[in-house]
Amino acid sequence: MSQQIQDQPLGGDPEGGEGEIELHKLPLDQWHRNKGGRMVPFAGYEMPVQYEGIMAEHIWVREHAGLFDVSHMGQLTFTGEGVEAALEALMPADIQAAKFSHPVYSLLMAENGGILDDLMLTRIKEGEVYMVVNGACKWDDIAHFREFLPDEIGLNHMEDHALLALQGPEAAAALERVIPGVSALVFMQGAAFQWQGHDLWISRSGYTGEDGFEISVPVDGAEALADAITAQPEVKPIGLGARDSLRLEADLPLYGHDLDTETTPVAAALGFALKKRRREEGGFPGHARIMLERENGSILKRVGLIVEGRQPVREGGLVVDADGNEVGKVTSGGFAPTLQKPIAMAYVPAASAEPGTKITLAQRGKIHSAEVVKMPFVAHKYVRKGA
Amino acid sequence: MSRYFTEDHEWIDVDGDTATVGITEYAQSQLGDIVFVEVPDEGKVVSKGDDAAVVESVKAASDVYAPVSGTVIEGNEALADNPALVNEDPEGEGWFFKLTLADTSELDSLMNDSAYQDYVSKL
C-alpha cells in the first residue's frame, strides 16, 4: 500500500506536519496515551486522532456523549477600558452590544476581505473579553492583536488552561452529575463554575452540531476533571478524526481548509457573523469589499455536496464545468458516518449554489457526480432558550 | 499454497500461477474504518509496483500496488457493497483481486509469514 495519498485536514496543517518544528505536548498527553489514543501531529501538537475508531466514536457522540481535548486552541483574555471597541476594529462582531457571558462567533478580518481566523469571543464583564482561536492560527493571531490593538489593552494567553469539550445528546445529564448547575445554561451561554477548588468557565457550545459544553480548566485540574467526566457511563473520549467528520456534517467550516485569507465571509456563507451595526458603520478590515459582495454576490459560494456512490471526494478535489474547466474546489470532504454517504464542502460558482444543482467533481483523474444540498447535513440539536 | 507478504502490507496467496492479493490485518488496523474499495477489472495487465486498487478509510485514501506482475482475472465484487469486509476479514473474505502471474521469480523478493510478522513488530 502507498503512503496515504490524500490526508484529511488532520495532516493538512502547515504547522502540524512532522518536520523542523518540535511538536508540543498537550497537558493531557499521557492521559490520551493511557486511554489508547493514537497520537498524530496537528496544529503543532501531538493530538489523539482516534481511540477505538473514527466511525464508532462519531456515532457515539451522535447518540451519547464524547469528551474532546481541544487544549491546542488558543485561549486569550483581553482587558482594559474600551476593549470592546478596540476588538471591533479587527472583526465584524457587535461586541459593544454583546450580552455578558454569551459567546459570539466572529472572524478576524484581513484588509482584502479575506479571513485570518474564525473565533468565539465572550464578554465576561465591562472591559474584559475571553476569546478562543484556532490552534494552528494562535501565534499569528496573538502577533496580529499585539500589532493592531492599542497598548492600553492587555492580552493574556491562557497557556495555563486546558480546554475540554463534552458533546452529544447525553452531555448535559453526564456533566450535571459532575458539575451541578451546568444544565441550566442554554446554547451560547456561559458561566463561571467551581470544581474541586478549580475555577472553570463553561459555555454551552461546541463544534459537532450536538448539544454540549466547552470547559476551560486550569491545567493542574484538567486530568482529574477529564477522569471525572469520562467516568460517567454516557461518556467516551473522542479523537480529532471524529471531530472533523462531526463538524463537517454540521456545516461548521474549518479554518485553513474551508476558510482562509482568500475566502470572504460572503463567499463562505457566514453572513450571520456580519452584524447589522457593523455593516452599516464599517470600521473593520475588508468592509468595502464585503459590502460590495453583499450587494452583487460573490463569485464563488461555499455549499454542501452529497457525492454519488461511495467514494469520498476530499479536500483538493476540483469542481469542473461541462468543458472540464476548473471553476471551484472541494475544501473538506469525507464519508459521513451518520448519512453513510460521501459528503463535501466546496466553493462553487454562485450560479451553481442552489440546492438541487448537479455538480461535477474531478479527483485523481476520475469524474464524480454530486448534488448541492442544504446544510447542515445533519440537523443541529442545540438546546436553546425557551426550548 | 504459499502466502507471501510485501513491505507495503499486502498479502499474496499463490496457487500454481494464480495469485490472490489483499491487504494485511496490520494495514486494515492502521487504515481504520474502510468506506470504499476500487478493485481492478478483469483483463487489466499490471506490472509489479503499479497502482492496482484504491482503498479509502474515513480518514484518507491509499493506493494498493500490484505486488507482482500479471493479468487480473477477477476483482472482489463483494467489496463494492460491503467495503467493511476488509476490516472484518482482511486476510480472507476481504481479498482485493486475483491475477495470473507473469513471472513467478518475482515472488522470491517477497517475505514469508514469519519475516513479515518480524517486519511489522519493528514498525
Q: Is residue B119 part of a domain?
A: no
Q: Is residue B78 part of a domain?
A: yes
Helix residue spans in chain B (DSSP H): 25-31, 78-81, 85-88, 113-121
Q: Which element (helix H / strand E) includes A76?
A: strand A74-79
Query: Using CA atoms, how far apart are residues A276 and A282, in angstroms rounded to an integer?
Result: 10
Show me where the domains of chain A are located.
Answer: 9-72+159-249, 299-387
Which candidate from A2, A3, A50 shows the least CB-CB separation from B32?
A50
How would residue A80 be classed by pLDDT, with cut points 50, 70 and 90?
very high
Q: Are A232 and A177 in contact (CB under 8 A)?
A: yes
pLDDT digits (tens), chain B, 123 positions: 799 999 999 999 999 999 999 999 999 999 999 999 999 999 999 999 999 999 999 988 999 999 999 999 999 999 999 999 999 999 999 999 999 999 999 999 999 999 999 999 998
Q: Is residue B118 part of a domain?
A: no
Q: Is residue B69 part of a domain?
A: yes
Mutate one of B59, B79, B85 to test the A interface: name it (highest A CB count within 10 A): B59
The model's pTM is: 0.94
CATH number of the domain bearing residue B7: 2.40.50.100
Residue B42: which domain range? 2-103
Q: Which CATH class is domain A9-72+159-249?
A: alpha beta
Taking only the tens place, the pLDDT of each residue in A35-77 is: 999 999 999 999 999 999 999 999 999 999 999 999 999 999 9
| B8 in A contact zone (CB under 8 Å) | yes
Size of interface A-B (CB pairs under 8 A): 76
Domains of chain B: total:
1
Which candidate from A1, A2, A54 shows the least CB-CB separation from B58?
A54
Query: Using CA atoms, how far apart are residues A60 and B83, in angstroms rounded to an integer?
Result: 21
Compute CA A244 distance to the chain's CA centroid, rounded to the nearest angstrom: 9
CATH H-level, domain A299-387: superfamily:
Aminomethyltransferase beta-barrel domains (2.40.30.110)
| B59 in A contact zone (CB under 8 Å) | yes
Q: What are phi and psi of A350, to 5 degrees?
A: -55, -35
Cβ <8 Å between B58 and A337: yes
